[in-house]
Structure 1
């Protein structure tokens, strides 16, 4: 018994014998139309099943006391980690300066490679000493001091040194090791900074940042920032430096290079297929300074 006969045997509906059938053109037309309709419906349902439909809905969020996680991964190729800081302001009146939670900074050399794995912290000193530290210090160009600090980061909106750079020049929790090389030169520099009224922490910070700038150091900042579910803004600045310290370090506003690359900037839990419009954004300045502002609705 062939396959055709087997399939016919499985048919539960009785069929009339061939000599009792009369084939007509109208019957053939009805059969063809029926097959076309069935094929069309089948293809439509298959397409509906395979395709993804995106539905946009807007509703009022009635939850209170919950935070929104912001995932950040950015590179600043021309600013040392020691001067990067973030301030946050929201409509509820909350104002935080130099945030520090779940965000880390990694020093980069002039080629963009990580030169150390220590976490840097402004508010809480987190010293992580590794066996490779000695090798890194020897291979670098006479790195004279160590600084362990970490900064909370969000948007890049660098304010010029001439606008509102104020506050204490004392950096809490930082301990430096001064170099013994060129002692006479350093003593002379110390005398000059003392004459200008800088305290010891400010003097050490100036030396540290100048050395990092001379070596072409940058900074990679990554982590998660938790914010309230209200409108607000975050801006990156040069560590909220006292204007005199900032002028001593950079020598002018045009020398503050805020070039940056946004590797990841997303809001809320990670969602498959989600598109983050600022991912991959590059803003590179050459021989100039500037301010970059990003406006996002979440």
Structure 2
């Protein structure tokens, strides 16, 4: 028993005899208040432990040779789909004209209701050509050099349009061209001239400085410039404009932590020759969330500029229509930032810190409660003694 008696000398938690303990009303109140405070502090510690903070880090983007998806959904209420062209070009020299892959065009009535939707992947293939005699060789209406006459045929309306495009001539609505009239191209142009168009989808670009734009008419590249055949757009008896609504525009995969500043942008104009420019700065962004795979995407900032286009057009009907001050349309010029933002998710407190906080809260409240209860008890005894004197 001697060892046990020696250990009792180290007991820091000495016990009181039950008969010597006095329970008071003030002690009960202090106990209840202390319990409530302890519960509140423990819950606060738990919330702090479970709280996730985001720690951004800025580094130099050292990736090379990457490609980037551009996701878009844009509505043009006063331009038919047949008249709109989406082109992409960048400083590396890559050009994607009349993009079709991954793009859906939706024809809209003047009231904005959907008429039909088609994938341009399928539309690009075109319908089967009209049945023609095996020996038929359609004329190209002077759009080929004389030395090639008889060796090159234009059997469809698209063949004639391509031939005109190759020599830089405006094409128009196809009236007077037997291939187009046979395929009812002029009637289609007339039927859709009051329609609008929604373009939605995605396409891939090099992650370098470049631009993509919506402009009227078929596009092609001359030896020095990128041009569009604006004949049908500028000569139509219906005033088409580039009023538009950008429902969505983003660069890279979707992430709920990204805010796209151009979403739900609406621009209106009554002028046919009007140009909208959006200058976009794209910043690579990586999200590292606790318990999830990292997500690499992009965020961007934007400034915009809009202006009417002043100038005329070539009087020679064989030349592609163009405005001397530029072409009407909606242009997005994007630049790639050399910096990359990494957003780390982390918990500020470890589980050990949580336990320490809980112990400190419980111990601190009990210590204060003991002092308060003792003070109230002593004050009550002092008042009782005064009353008995």
Distance 1:93 1:71, change over 3 A: same
Aligned-partner Cα distance in 2 for 1:210–1:55? 58
Is 2:199 aligned against 1:221? yes
Is 2:191 aligned against 1:211? yes
Aligned-partner Cα distance in 1 for 2:15–2:268? 79
For the residue of structure 1 that corresponds to 2:230, the secondary structure is helix
Distance 1:227 1:85, change over 3 A: same
Is 2:281 aligned against 1:297? yes
- Aligned residues of 1:67 and 1:228 also touching (Cα < 8 A): yes
How large is the RMSD of aligned CA atoms in angstroms?
4.6
Matched with 2:131 is none
Distance 1:108 1:42, change over 3 A: same
Distance 1:15 1:101, change over 3 A: farther
> How far is the alpha carbon of 1:257 from its aligned partner?
0.4
Matched with 1:230 is 208
How big is each residue's C-alpha offset from its partner over 1:85-115, in whole Å with a ceiling of 9 and x where there is no partner? 1222223232332222111212111122221
How big is each residue's C-alpha offset from its partner over 1:147-191, in whole Å with a ceiling of 9 and x where there is no partner? 99xxxxxxxxxxxxxxxxx946579xxxx9x9xxxxxxxxxx52x
Matched with 2:108 is 108
For the residue of structure 2 that corresponds to 1:59, the secondary structure is strand
Matched with 2:138 is none
Structure 2 regions of 5+ residues with no counterpart? Answer: 1-12, 129-156, 159-166, 221-226, 283-389
Aligned-partner Cα distance in 2 for 1:20–1:127? 103
Matched with 1:43 is 44
2:266 aligns with one of 279, 282, 293: 282
Matched with 1:182 is none
- Aligned residues of 1:167 and 1:240 also touching (Cα < 8 A): no
Structure 1 regions of 5+ residues with no counterpart? Answer: 1-12, 129-146, 149-165, 179-188
Aligned-partner Cα distance in 2 for 1:256–1:264? 23
> How far is the alpha carbon of 1:266 from its aligned partner?
1.6
Q: Which structure: larger Rg? A: 2
The structure with higher relative contact order (CA 8 Å, sep 6+) is 1
Aligned-partner Cα distance in 2 for 1:289–1:48? 60
Structure 1 or 2: larger strand share?
A: 2
Aligned-partner Cα distance in 1 for 2:126–2:232? 28
Matches within 5 A, 1:119-130: 119-120=119-120, 124-127=124-127
